[in-house]
Amino acid sequence: MIAPQPSGASNYLPVRPDWLARGVEQALRPDLPIIDAHHHLWDRPNWRYLFDEYNADIAASGHNITASVFMQCQAMYRSDGPAEMRVVGETEFVNGVAAMSASGNYGPRRLCAGIIGHADPRLGDGVAPVLEAHLAAAPNRFRGIRHITVWDADRSLMNPLSAGPPGVLSDETFRKGFARLAPLGLLFDAWLFHPQIPELTELARAFPQTTIVLDHLGGIVRIGAYKDRRDEIFAGWSRSIRELATCGNVCVKLGGLGMRINGFGFEKDAPPSSEVLAETWRPYIETCIEAFGPQRCMFESNFPVDKGSYSYGTIWNAFKRLTRNAGDSDLTSLFSATAARVYGLAPHG
């Protein structure tokens, strides 16, 4: 069975519950505390993934998820008011979900303990009231913004929900708005495609006091114009990652490799095992950990987007297999401490 998907869903791999059920695994190291550093909640036409669905995925996985970080996804915007302020509705919504979780009525975990919303830095100085409204809506949980800057000349790669013009990160007005983050103690989550990583490096060097978190290992693209160029793409991505890692204000999220653009083909045939995922991802994950160090790396689920390729339990088993030989301190950093420090969360909930 294929779960109903929203219009325009060609940008997402379809979620197939019956297919996913064929690949159920027992959780490895089930007591290891985990902070899921990146997930979404939404109620789109024919695609509902809210607190109950996310909590159910966690419970079924058997992994010890102690807390999570919500990532902006254009959910529950206000229906009226100034256009630039409507995005605050997402923070209001997620803060309510976080309060539900914090009640303890749904288990010990603290979901959405950190919230990343959206405000458009291209407003320049005008972004300040939007940031302040987010902080007022969730003063104990709002941690920063993500303004998606994905762009490529191959338009088939673009998601119409988040397509951006080229060169945004170097735009003067964008940078004027970006400069408003650090004084408010806010960070910036960056989502772009891997050819754009050098642009992020320039931004990070221009704003060394602003914490930047690179999502999904930098958006590795292996379809469309990038198909059948595996070795070339890996070499170029690796160089860009190592150069970006020289910026001490940048951290990286390890995950988000089950998307359509990644082109790994996990959605084909039987559901991939955690062993298959670990071996496929090893060069990418190990490159990032070597470049940034465990203290600047954090694991993420990217659910429900990645749910088209594997189950919640399988992805965390894969991460645990990838870190089988890591010491206790590095394990703690990768699975919880880095996310806790960067997003201002308690390490174990």
Per-residue pLDDT tens, the chain, 349 aa: give them: 344 444 344 678 999 999 999 999 999 999 999 999 999 999 999 899 999 999 999 999 999 999 999 999 999 999 999 999 999 999 999 999 999 999 999 999 999 999 999 999 999 999 999 999 999 999 999 999 999 999 999 988 987 777 678 999 999 999 999 999 999 999 999 999 999 999 999 999 999 999 999 999 999 999 999 999 999 999 999 999 999 999 999 999 999 999 999 999 999 989 999 999 999 999 999 999 999 999 999 999 999 999 999 999 999 999 999 999 999 999 999 999 999 999 999 654 3
Q: Locate tokens 């789109």: which residue?
A: 44
Determine which helix (DSSP H) or strand (DSSP E) holds 17, and give its type and residue range: helix 17-21
Q: Around Cβ 325, how many Cβ atoms within 10 Å?
A: 6
State the greatest distance between any 2 C-alpha atoms of the chain, in Å, as a whole number. 53
Report the chain's C-alpha Rg in angstroms.
19
Q: Around Cβ 1, how many Cβ atoms within 10 Å?
A: 9
Query: Which DSSP category does 12 fall into?
Result: S
Whether residue 88 contacts residue 130, with contact meaning beta carbons closer than 8 Å, is answered with yes
Whether residue 239 contacts residue 196, with contact meaning beta carbons closer than 8 Å, is answered with no
pLDDT at 334: 98
Q: Around Cβ 248, how many Cβ atoms within 10 Å?
A: 11
Phi and psi based region of residue 293 (left: phi greater than 0; alpha: psi -120 to 50; beta: remaining): left
pLDDT at 349: 38
What lies within 8 Å, CB to CB, of 201 at 6+ separation is 240, 243, 244, 247
Query: Which DSSP category does 25 fall into?
Result: -
How far apart CA 194 and CA 274 sit, in angstroms, is: 25
pLDDT at 159: 77
pLDDT at 11: 78
How far apart CA 164 and CA 162 sit, in angstroms, is: 6
How far apart CA 67 and CA 94 sit, in angstroms, is: 14
Q: Locate tokens 């919640």: which residue?
A: 312
pLDDT at 163: 67
How far apart CA 175 and CA 4 sit, in angstroms, is: 40
From residue 68, alpha-carbon distances to 97, 164, 214, 274 in Å are: 12, 27, 17, 22
pLDDT at 346: 66
Burial class (CB in 10 A: 0-12, 13-18, 19+), 165: exposed
How far apart CA 238 and CA 249 sit, in angstroms, is: 19
Torsions phi, psi for 279 (to 5 deg): -70, -35
Residues paired with 144 in a beta bridge? 116, 187
Handedness of CA 224, 229, 235, 236 (dihedral sign): negative
